[in-house]
Each structure stands twice: as structure tokens, then as C-alpha cells.
A and B are shown apart, each in its own frame.
Chain A
Amino acid sequence: QQQVKQSPQSLIVQKGGISIINCAYENTAFDYFPWYQQFPGKGPALLIAIRPDVSEKKEGRFTISFNKSAKQFSLHIMDSQPGDSATYFCAARARGGSQGNLIFGKGTKLSVKP
């Protein structure tokens, strides 16, 4: 019940295309859903996050879509660029006594071809 399932494991997109990464969860106690971006040799960094009281959040070319009833959320990268090539992790946080610990998905390696 604590898992966050992420797909696909890897993704190749042409420059200018749309990259879509999906995550699903079971625990209805999750109240915060961030996406982290990690470049090779670097630590993950927060990209964008959403709370379950909204269905969509957009920041530039990055959009999170959230479907509370289906317990799914996804990251859309519009007009994908080679500089977006990185590993993306979705995550979820359970409200309550967990001190805000995040549960991470297994990651998606995105390659954007020129």
C-alpha cells in the first residue's frame, strides 16, 4: 500500500514532442505528489508538485495531471528538448505521523533526440 508505481522505465522522444510519464498509488493517505528531475552525476531536484485538491498544475512546459478517483498522476513535458534528458521520479507523501517522508517511484529515464 506504500508503493508508488511508475511507468515507463525508459522513454525516447523526438525534440518538440510530448513526453508523458505515469504514476499510480494505492494509499489514500497520500497528500502531496512531487516530481523530481535528476541529471547524470547529480542529485534529484524538485521539478513540480501537486496536492490532491487540484486536478492540474502547470509550470512552463511541465504539467502534472492528477486523477484522484483513479489514484493516478502524470507528468507531461510539452515541446520536449534535449536538455530535458534526465531521470524523472514521481513521489508521494503520506499525511500524518510519517514526518513527511516521501515514497519514490522507480524512475523513468527520458532521452530526447535532436
Chain B
Amino acid sequence: NAGVTQTPKFRVLKTGQSMTLLCAQDMNHEYMYWYRQDPGMGLRLIHYSVGEGTTAKGEVPDGYNVSRLKKQNFLLGLESAAPSQTSVYFCASSPDPLNTGELFFGEGSRLTVL
């Protein structure tokens, strides 16, 4: 049972470089989310998707873009990385957040921007 898989798990970038984080879920969930976790800041929602082909902004969307071309995948892109984007990124999915409310998280992707 893979659940939610994030790749890569670690990445070091230089300021201005671009990269994409991939999230894949095998639970056929409609909803997918990208969060960032910073010390003392909890989990903050970057972008989310309520179904294939849809995306929406969360609390801290600036500097990030997302795409949900396939139901099982949710991609998070950084076009021009900045040191402020150094963080641990978590992807999550949910079958029906308005009913069950449960999010299923991946193990995280640690990004360092130098």
C-alpha cells in the first residue's frame, strides 16, 4: 500500500533555479493538497485541487504553481527558487474532506535553496 508518494525526498537548489515536486496517490482520492512546514509555523496550505484539471490557491501561494493533469498526480513547481522557499513540503490527499475530514500525507520533500 503506497498511499501518497512524494519525489524527490531531498533537493538542494541555487537561488533562481526551477524545480518540480511530484506527488502521486494510489487511493483514487479526489482532493489533493500541497503544504509547507516551517519550524514554529505549523502546516500552511500552498495550493490545492478538488479534482482532475482543477487547482486553487491556499494560504501561501506566491512563488509556486501547480498542475493536476491526472487524478493521481499533483505537481508543485517553483519557477525561480528563493531562500525563503527553503522548507519541508508535504503533499496530502483526501477522498471527501467535507465528510470524513481526514487527510493522508506523504513523507515530505525537504528543499534547501542556497
A residues with a Cβ closer than 8 A to B are 6, 9, 32, 34, 36, 41-46, 49, 89, 93, 99-102, 104-107
Tell me which residues from 11 to 46 in chain B have a Cβ below 8 Å from any Cβ of chain A: 31, 33, 40-45
Among A34, A43, A104, the residue within 8 A (CB) of B106 is: A43
- Are B45 and A101 neighbours in the complex by a CB distance under 8 Å? yes
- Give B residues with C-beta under 8 Å from A: 4, 31, 33, 40-45, 48, 50, 56, 58, 90, 92, 94, 96-98, 101-103, 105-108
Top 10 nearest A-B pairs by Cβ distance? A100-B97, A43-B105, A106-B42, A104-B43, A100-B98, A104-B42, A32-B101, A46-B102, A44-B105, A43-B107
Write the nearest CB–CB distance from B8 to chain A, whole angstroms: 15
A101–B43 CB distance below 8 A: no
Contacts of A43 in B (CB 8 A): 4, 90, 92, 105-108
Is there an interface contact between A44 and B90, defined as CB atoms closer than 8 Å?
Answer: yes
Query: Contact at B102–A99, with CB atoms within 8 Å?
Result: no
